[in-house]
Amino acid sequence: MENRYVSYISDDHLLKCIANLYKSYLKAKSNVSKKNFYSNKVDTIKLTFDSNFNNINEESLIQAEILRQIDKSINNSIGTFHEQVLGGIPGYEVGVLSGFDIKATDDTLFADIKNKHNTMNSSSSEALFQKLARYADSYKKAKCYWVQILAKSSFYELWSGEINGKEYSHSRVYKISGDQFYALLTGMDDALFQLYKALPNAINDFLRNIEQDESTDQNSALEEIKNETKTSKRSILNQITFENYNYYLGFNDL
């Protein structure tokens, strides 16, 4: 039977990948309690500027900040989604706690997948190159890839250059953009575009066939903070500032 969504993985596999990502969204949305929201310290000075310069009321501002934290969590899950999709292509598999994200079943390809091109600092880049070079040295027929799903251009090239003051190069270590990597594994130039075009229909089909859990406690942080303001009589922003910085000089007077 012909696939409904993309030609290189089964419909069932794509729907399973979407289901896994959906669970990540639910977890991220239900996990933002006040405690979690405060875990990295909220920059209330920046939020004060945001509120006044962008003319946003405090409640909308905090909701936006909560969504920003959710988005940060989801970005990692999007990378996992691509790994799972690519792992469904015949001849390839996903690595699980193995040091690689995708490999060819015949050990001729290993890849580390990053969703965005700018997610690594120089130390991370150096460690990744060294890891890929070790795979290339261990598997003499293997090509090894740093995959950037969202890159600044379309490319497929040897990865060489200076990292942390050291020159790095290897004859079988490459860096590659997402479109080129999808094309490499599928043999289809438009493979990533196929996925992009298919996602709305596949997501709609998935949502139609699940039971929505209305009881999911989403974004409890704002309600918890608002409840505190009922007794403290502080504004939302002052309440957040007090709870984050009451040990700072003068802040206990809020």
What are the pLDDT digits (tens) for 170-211?
999 999 999 999 999 999 999 999 999 999 999 999 999 886
Element (H, E) at 1: none
Other C-beta atoms lying within 10 Å of the C-beta of residue 188: 15
61 burial (CB, 10 Å; 0-12 / 13-18 / 19+) is middle
pLDDT in tens, 60-72: 999 888 888 888 8
| Tens-binned pLDDT, residue by residue, of the chain (254 aa) | 579 999 999 999 999 999 999 999 888 887 788 988 898 889 999 999 999 999 999 999 998 888 888 888 788 899 999 999 999 999 999 987 788 999 999 999 999 999 987 777 889 999 999 999 999 999 999 999 999 999 999 999 999 998 888 899 999 999 999 999 999 999 999 999 999 999 999 999 999 988 665 445 556 888 999 999 999 999 999 999 999 999 999 999 98
Decide if 102 contacts 83 (C-beta within 8 A): yes
User: % helix / strand / coil in the chain, to the nearest 5?
Assistant: 55, 15, 35
